[in-house]
Amino acid sequence: MRNDQKFTGNIDWLTVLIYIVLVLIGWATIYSAVYTEGLSPFNTAGSGTAVNTGKQFQWIVGCLVIGAIILIIDGKFFVTFSYPIFGFFIPLLIGVMFFGAMVKGQRNWIRIGGFQMQPSELAKFTTSLALAKYLSGLNVDIRKWRDKWKAFAIIALPMMIVLIQGDAGSAIVFVVFALVLFREGLESYFLIIGASVIFLSVIALVVPKLWYLWIIFAVIGGVLIYFNYKKRQLVYLITGIVLVSSIYVTGVNFIFDHLKSHQRDRINVLLGREVEKGKDWNIKQSIIAIGSGGLTGKGYLQGTQTKLKFVPEQSTDFIFSSIGEEWGFAGSVVIIGLFMGLLMRLLYLSERQRSKYSRIYGYCVVSILFFHFLINVGMAIGVAPVIGIPLPFISYGGSSLLAFTILLFVFLRLDSQRLEVLR
């Protein structure tokens, strides 16, 4: 069959290669992070972290199988069933809050036999399907408020449920879909407002006294109005901006004061503020680990910071510090290079799609991977808040590996079928 011959030929093997390299680096790093003398990398007996490498290997094999299956399934299946899949996951996400298993204080796991799965990981995938489906619809224009609200709703619904589950880290990831909307034509001022919001949030927390900001805003506003007092509309606009900004920073301060203490501490750590002794331990130890790696690192299995458990969560959230410590700057550059290569490659693939659905879905994949990379690595090197989300393909954890695999391979399948789509 003509399609069969095309099947292998149209797969983007470069992406698959990067995927396999990342997954294997992850496996090797997990082994190093949990290494004890004589531990087999395939060990799944016993308890604690000793089983991590062996289990991850099983997951990797499983994911490769699932990836292969996805590559065989007709991509039209996902296009057609985008909404049903999305719809199926919403009650699952809600149900898990009541019937799910408890892991680390959060009831958001499904447990079937020895198999554990976090539906919120897959929610990112299903949301991508639904968002691509909606935005690729005829007559849908993101620049119209009517359509905007619906797109926002598709993103916000799962995000809110995950937030209610108590997994703020996973919920924040959904914010990154804004990047997809931006590519599909969302007005630039959203980006400007978004950047302004982040900027105002930071200065609201950094400046010691709230009224300093009020005065600064008033002075800036006053100066601008003085030079533009004849342009009435502009005066109104400036006045509005000053008022909204002042109210916003006040609100941020209020919310900050009413956060849970561990959340407040995380922000304080990031801002370099003094926190109670020990609260910034994780981040400090991670930075020490990475900083002590030097140019070429301490060598594989030789990292003291990770091996002696000074860095917590070293096979999951802080896995990048193991790489930084044992492989040094050289290793860090390789990891960042691989992710850049993957993201840029995926962007290129997205842009070459004939189908709007495939392109939008591709951007979803890029956005999600990028955000995880940004937060996870940024946290390990002390430039992002401590949000416990995994580094794609590398961190230990079956759920996340499976979710990222499905996310990526569905796109590879869509890409391999791009020529079948008529413009």
Partner 1 sequence: MNKDLFKNRYDVVRIIIAVFAAVFLLRLGYLQLFEKKYDRIAFENAIKELEIYPTRGLVYDRKGELIVYNEAIYDIMVTPHIAKTADSAKICSLLRITMDDYSARMAKARAYSTRKASVFMKQVSLEDYQRFQESQYLFTGFDGQVRTIRKYPHHCAAVILGDVGEVDDNQIKNSNGYYKPGDYVGKSGLERYYEKELGGTQGKKFIYVDVHNREQGSFADAKYDTAAKAGDNLYTSIDIKLQEYGEQLMQNKKGSIIAIEPETGEILCMVSSPGYDPNLLCGAIRGENFKKLVFDSLEPLFNRATMATYSPGSTFKPMVGLISLNERAQGEQYTVPCNGFYAFAGMSLKCSHHHPWATNIEYALAQSCNPYFWQTFRNAIENPKFTNIQESYGTWSDFCRSFGLGSRLCIDLPSEARGNIPSVNYFNKIYGEKGWHSATIISLGIGQGEILVTPLQLCNMYAAIANQGWYIKPHLVRNMEEVHAKKNIKVTLPKNNATIDPQWYIPVNEGLRQVVESGTAIESKINGISLCGKTGTVQNSHGDHHSVFAGFAPKDHPKIAIAVIVENAGFGATYGCPIASLMVERYLNDTVAENRLAKQKKMIETNLIQKYQQGKNMAITSGH
**Interface contacts to partner 1, rule CB under 8 A:** 179, 182-185, 278, 281, 285, 287-295, 304-305, 307-310, 324-325, 328-329, 332-333, 336, 339-340, 343-344, 347, 351, 363, 366, 370, 374, 377-378, 381-383
* Closest distance of CB 281 from partner 1, Å: 8
For residue 50, how many other CB atoms are within 10 A of its CB?
A: 16
Three-state SS at 210: helix
Q: Which of 184, 197, 125, 122 is nearest to 151 (CA)?
A: 184
387 within 8 A of 172, measured Cβ to Cβ: yes
* Closest distance of CB 225 from partner 1, Å: 32
260/277 with CB nearer partner 1: 277
124/359 with CB nearer partner 1: 359
238/366 with CB nearer partner 1: 366
According to DSSP, residue 45 is labeled: -
* Closest distance of CB 320 from partner 1, Å: 10
87/294 with CB nearer partner 1: 294
Q: Mind giving me the DSSP string for 15-38?
A: HHHHHHHHHHHHHHHHHHHH--TT
86/177 with CB nearer partner 1: 177
Q: How far apart are CA 13 and CA 369, in angstroms?
A: 18
134/370 with CB nearer partner 1: 370
Dihedral sign, CA of 12, 18, 22, 27?
positive
Q: How far apart are CA 162 and CA 43, in angstroms?
A: 33
Q: How far apart are CA 123 and CA 279, in angstroms?
A: 31
* Closest distance of CB 50 from partner 1, Å: 15
62/382 with CB nearer partner 1: 382
Specify the amino acid at residue 287.
I
* Closest distance of CB 381 from partner 1, Å: 5
Specify the amino acid at residue 165.
Q
* Closest distance of CB 212 from partner 1, Å: 28
Q: How far apart are CA 149 and CA 145, in angstroms?
A: 6
**DSSP H/E element including 108:** strand 106-112
For residue 375, how many other CB atoms are within 10 A of its CB?
A: 23
287/414 with CB nearer partner 1: 287
* Closest distance of CB 248 from partner 1, Å: 23
* Closest distance of CB 207 from partner 1, Å: 23
* Closest distance of CB 146 from partner 1, Å: 19
Strand partners, 110: 117
Q: Which of 385, 377, 174, 94 is nearest to 259 (CA)?
A: 385
323/412 with CB nearer partner 1: 323
Q: Largest alpha-carbon pair distance within the chain?
A: 79
The two three-digit tokens of residue 389, written as one number: 């989300």
249/342 with CB nearer partner 1: 342
Q: How far apart are CA 145 and CA 210, in angstroms?
A: 34
* Closest distance of CB 155 from partner 1, Å: 17
37/257 with CB nearer partner 1: 37
CA dihedral 97, 100, 105, 106 (to 10 degrees): -50
* Closest distance of CB 329 from partner 1, Å: 4
Q: Which of 79, 4, 58, 41 is nearest to 414 (CA)?
A: 79
Q: How far apart are CA 304 and CA 307, in angstroms?
A: 5
Distance spanning both ends of the chain, measured CA to CA:
23
